[in-house]
Amino acid sequence: MFIEIAEVSKQFLQRGGATPDKPFAALQSISVVVEQGKMLALVGPSGSGKTTLLRCIAGLETPDQGDIRIDGREVFSTRTGANTPTEKRNLGLIFQSYALWPNMTAEHNVAYPLRRRNVPDAECRARVARHLELVGCGHLGDRYPHELSGGQQQRIALARALVYEPAVVLLDEPLSNLDTSLREHLRAQIREIQRRVGFTGVYVTHDQGEAFYVGDRVAILGEGRLVQFGTPDEIYRNPNRAGVAAFVGASNRVEGRLGAGGGTFECQELGVLPLAAPVPGAATVMDRVLVGACDEYTLELRGGVRWRARSDLRLTRYNPGESVALAIAPDEFLVYPGRA
Amino acid sequence: MTAASSSPAAGLRVRIGGWTGACLLVIVAVFVAYPLLQLIAQTFGGDGEGDFLKIYREAFTSSIAMSSVWGTVWLTLITLLFGVPLAVLLAWITSSTDAPLARTLALLPTLSLALSPLVGAIGWMVLLAPRVGMLNLALRATFGLDVDEGPLNAFSLPVIVMLMTFYLVPYVYGPAYAAFSQVDASLQEAAKVCGAGGKWTLFTVTLPILRPSILAGTLIGGVMCASMFAIPLILASGTGLHVIPTQIYYYINQEGRTGPAMAMASLLSAVTLAAMLLYFRVLGRGRFVTISGKGARRVLVPLRAWRWPAGLLVMVFLFVSLVVPLAALLYLSLVGFWSGNVFSQALDFEQYRKLVDFPNAMLGLYNSTWLAAAGAGIALALGFIISYRRLRQAYPVDRLIAFIASLPLGVPSIVLGLAALAGFTGGFLPLYGTALILVVAYAVHMLPIAMRSSDAGLLQVSPELEEAGLVCGDSRTGVAARVLLPALRRPLLTAWGLSFILLFRDISTSILLFTPDSVPSSVALLSIFDQGWMTGAAAYSIVVTVISAAVVALIIKSADVAEAG
């Protein structure tokens, strides 16, 4: 494995003002691995510890516990006491704020890491030009950061992180300051450049769609713990708990009891019903909204519970107030054990 | 940063933060804390017979000594009473209203820092001396008054309070202006939407938000007023007003008694240090407005009929506090003769030529230039390193270092001079009698300003800019040199310039420490003044002010260049 993170833990002291400082577990024994040339997406709500983990890999935070290995090299270990400083870890890091130096032009920003590595002038210039070209900013070299748009700044930051061909590139919510359409365009570009250059990456985001788009592997974090780790396919098909299912987009949730043999389902909202067979009049259409190429319905079930459903525009469209049938298809449902 | 480890040596290293931390701690302990402690220790010497407070009793036996305590309290309070509302009003006009020229004039009240209080006091004496003051002469001629003196008198309490107010205003105006500029318009608009009128909004939303900034400015301004030496020295004779700083000077200079001087200095410092601690508390918890990258959105208050009076108030303030005394000095220096018929003389540069031959005049300019440059430079270098460590690396020891380094802010400058005298006469570091003691005292004097400016600068630069440098493979020092310092060029240059100006004009720290070879310009000016050569004093005042103004201009210019580049 190219990056190995083993049982990394980190606590912060929460400053309480008048009350004494409380320890707060930002990371609790996290273990994940990334293969060479693959992208790991760390995803989770804010406060889940994803950025802390990234900063631990970069060496900008020091874990309290655990080991981190990059390319077979132990960069941090509480066992051996190793702790390679950030500048010796040979990483690229792209910040949410881009962190372009305001006193340098785009070109100088990108050239900075090469100059620190004493790359000869001619080669330096060629590499800077090549990387500006790679991110589609070849013509912006002599601009200062404040003369660039958000998207352009983000691309320059990408070029700066790639120009010295680091073994690992870390991306900390690189697109969250951009508007939706630009974000979609740039995530495609990042994915393409990652495939083309073949760097190993760790990509932090709070957006599940973005994580599944750029990640070869996805690690879902919550409250400092690793909740699920796998390929996007695995996670999407088999969220290992109800919270993950909700996070990856399952929107309707119903609690009930499976009948003996699994042929029926009993719950308060629907009564006892056979699985896979439609139940006429089980729900009323409350609202219909056009979302992209689908209609999204808000349905009200018995007892006032609301579900959401989508359907293709070419199928029958229902109007608010109409009564519809519902069917529970066993393979469309994810089942999690309840309190019993 | 060092890996966590259990050995005691490593633990100590983590707490102290390596060799730099140890060196900084030693430097601030020896040059800041030690002299102050020496000062206090020497007041408790007594007579060796267990009479601990003998020196304190001695210091306050005379009625003049007691009246100097009340004089300081009275003068400080009355100056704050006039100065704070005036400063807040000026800041509000220049920052938040549509008064004419407000934006253009906004920086000027701060600029009046360049006018030394000593020069200001001499300027007003030239204008208002009872017999031959220019303004008095003009008034007598205009109104046909048949008297030899007056109608106005420079040596009077109203004039002293007026000059003290001019001196105080920039200290309150600066923070108030910054705070007014940072109050987002949406806060005020929200109040309006809730039904509050303009005046109501000002009193219920805007001023309460600004309270911490105004309070902070008031506290630090109060410390400055209580420390004021030059204005009472020139103008208080004959008024019956005595203040502690001048009393300390008399104890040492006239009576040669250091004990009572130190006792008075200790008491004064106890009060001003308490004010400073309060100031830190106010800054620490009460600052509602924070510096953000973008300025807050602002809407100017329309003053309608009051537009011109408001603009006029700002202009009159600048005119009276800056232009009038300087113009009087300039005129007198060119006339070369101070008498009843001062307005009928020919103008020439004779006085300036004579200054060249006056003992100490040129030496004073030369000394002040290099001493102030060195003091400001050392203070800035130290202050920046201390501030960087406290904000970016935060070893436990850094808070202690920063605290000690900020103490001089709460110590009146004449007391700083006296402390240097107490700490570095003989002992393990006998600097007294050399020019070095002035460099040390100057650097210590400016250390808090250098640190505060560095703090402000560092808080504006996102740590991510430095982390980006580290990730790119640069060392911490490399990042500081290549990323941080260029990004902070403007605030650091400004801090150096401000320190230079304050040191260049300094009299109260220097007056107890200078030697014949290290006479600073302020002492030279005072000796010209004391010899009664008023036209020479006027010419020298103009020279000193021109040098200060040139440094200000140079800094504004190069800061603009830094901004553009």
Q: What's the CATH number where A13 sits?
A: 3.40.50.300
Does A339 fall in a domain? no
Does A60 fall in a domain? yes
Find out whether B514 and B437 touch, Cβ atoms under 8 Å: no
Same domain (yes/no): A83, A230: yes
Whether B328 shows a pLDDT value over 70: the answer reads yes
Find out whether A174 and A94 touch, Cβ atoms under 8 Å: yes
Strand partners, A70: A3, A73
What does DSSP say about strands A200-205 and A168-172: parallel, antiparallel, or unpaired?
parallel
The number of C-alpha atoms within 13 Å of B161 and in the hemisphere containing its C-beta is 18
State chain A's mean pLDDT as an integer.
Answer: 86
Q: H or E stretch including A14? A: strand A3-14
The structure tokens listed for B503 are: 């040191």
Judging contacts by C-beta atoms under 8 Å, the chain A residues touching residue B474 are 87, 112-113, 116
* A83/B contact by beta carbon, under 8 A: yes
User: Model-level pTM?
Assistant: 0.78
pLDDT at B189: 61
For CA atoms B87, B92, B94, B99, give the dihedral sign: negative
Helix (H, G, I), strand (E, B) or coil at A22: strand
Q: How far apart are CA B425 and CA B422, in angstroms?
A: 6
Judging contacts by C-beta atoms under 8 Å, the chain B residues touching residue A102 are 465, 487
Q: Do A95 and B464 touch (CB under 8 A)?
A: yes
Same domain (yes/no): A152, A295: no
Q: How far apart are CA B304 and CA B16, in angstroms?
A: 60
Domains of chain B listed by start with CATH number:
11-52+349-565 (1.10.3720.10), 53-348 (1.10.3720.10)
- How many domains does one find in chain A? 2
Find, among A64, A40, A35, A38, the residue nearest to A50 by Cα. Answer: A40
Q: Do A101 and B483 touch (CB under 8 A)?
A: yes
Q: How far apart are CA B183 and CA B534, in angstroms?
A: 48
Residue with token string 């995530």: A187
Q: Do A99 and B468 touch (CB under 8 A)?
A: yes
Judging contacts by C-beta atoms under 8 Å, the chain A residues touching residue B475 are 87
Between residues A132 and A280, the one the model is more confident about: A132
Closest partner CB to B473 (pick from A58, A99, A116): A116
**Interface-testing mutation among A87, A115, A146, with chain B (most B C-beta atoms within 10 A):** A87
pLDDT at B294: 39
Domain that holds residue A205: 3-247
The number of C-alpha atoms within 13 Å of A133 and in the hemisphere containing its C-beta is 6
* Largest interatomic CA distance in chain B: 89
Closest partner CB to B475 (pick from A87, A90, A160): A87
Between residues A151 and B149, the one the model is more confident about: A151
Does A51 fall in a domain? yes
Judging contacts by C-beta atoms under 8 Å, the chain B residues touching residue A170 are 471
Instruction: Give the residue-averaged pLDDT of A131-140.
Output: 89
Same domain (yes/no): A285, A220: no
Same domain (yes/no): A85, A149: yes
Whether B291 shows a pLDDT value over 80: the answer reads no
Q: How far apart are CA B538 and CA B334, in angstroms?
A: 9
Find out whether A46 and A38 touch, Cβ atoms under 8 Å: no
Instruction: Give the residue-averaged pLDDT of B312-327.
Output: 89
Same domain (yes/no): A61, A163: yes
Whether A328 shows a pLDDT value over 50: the answer reads yes
Judging contacts by C-beta atoms under 8 Å, the chain A residues touching residue B482 are 112
Same domain (yes/no): A64, A124: yes
Does A119 fall in a domain? yes
CATH number of the domain encompassing residue A309? 2.40.50.100
Instruction: Give the residue-averaged pLDDT of A319-329.
Output: 84
The C-alpha of A90 sits at a distance from chain B's nearest C-alpha, in angstroms, of 7
Maximum average pLDDT range among B24-28, B389-393, B430-434: B24-28
Residue B149: which pLDDT band, with cuts at 50, 70 and 90? confident
Q: Which residues of B touch A (CB under 8 A)?
A: 1-5, 462, 464-465, 467-475, 478, 482-483, 486-487, 489, 565
pLDDT at B428: 82
Same domain (yes/no): A204, A289: no
User: Which string of b and e fits A104-115 if b means at least 16 CB within 10 Å?
Assistant: bbbbbbbbbbbe
Q: How far apart are CA B466 and CA B187, in angstroms?
A: 33
Closest partner CB to B473 (pick from A62, A87, A100): A87
Does A337 fall in a domain? no
Instruction: Give the residue-averaged pLDDT of A148-157.
Output: 89
Chain A residue nearest residue B473, CA to CA: A87
pLDDT at B12: 56
Same domain (yes/no): A265, A138: no
Same domain (yes/no): A155, A64: yes
Same domain (yes/no): A159, A190: yes
Q: How far apart are CA A77 and CA A60, in angstroms?
A: 15
Amino acid present at B94: T
The structure tokens listed for A150 are: 């958000």
pLDDT at B1: 37
pLDDT at B565: 37
Whether B485 shows a pLDDT value over 80: the answer reads yes
pLDDT at B72: 92
Among the residues of B45-62, which ranges form H helices?
54-59
The C-alpha of A165 sits at a distance from chain B's nearest C-alpha, in angstroms, of 11
Helix (H, G, I), strand (E, B) or coil at A153: helix
Residue A72: which pLDDT band, with cuts at 50, 70 and 90? confident
Whether B186 shows a pLDDT value over 70: the answer reads no
Judging contacts by C-beta atoms under 8 Å, the chain B residues touching residue A54 are none
Does A168 fall in a domain? yes
Which strands, in side-by-side order, build the sheet including A257-258? A257-258, A264-267, A271-274
Rounded to the nearest angstrom, the gap between the alpha carbon of residue B411 and the centroid of all alpha carbons in its chain is: 12
Does A338 fall in a domain? no
Q: How far apart are CA B165 and CA B79, in angstroms?
A: 5
pLDDT at B292: 37
The C-alpha of B460 sits at a distance from chain A's nearest C-alpha, in angstroms, of 12
pLDDT at B51: 64
Same domain (yes/no): A324, A186: no
CA angle, A128 then A133 then A135, to 5°:
100
Does A194 fall in a domain? yes
Find out whether B229 and B506 touch, Cβ atoms under 8 Å: no
The structure tokens listed for B192 are: 């309006």
Domain boundary among A201, A225, A247: A247
Q: How far apart are CA A318 and CA A1, in angstroms?
A: 52
DSSP 8-state assignment for residue A117: T
Domain boundary among A247, A268, A302: A247
Q: Do A112 and B464 touch (CB under 8 A)?
A: no
Domain boundary among A203, A223, A247: A247
DSSP 8-state assignment for residue B300: P
Same domain (yes/no): A179, A152: yes
Judging contacts by C-beta atoms under 8 Å, the chain B residues touching residue A171 are none
Find, among B359, B444, B496, the residue nearest to B31 by Cα. Answer: B444
Find, among B380, B526, B354, B373, the residue nearest to B439 by Cα. Answer: B373
Residue with token string 């056979």: A274
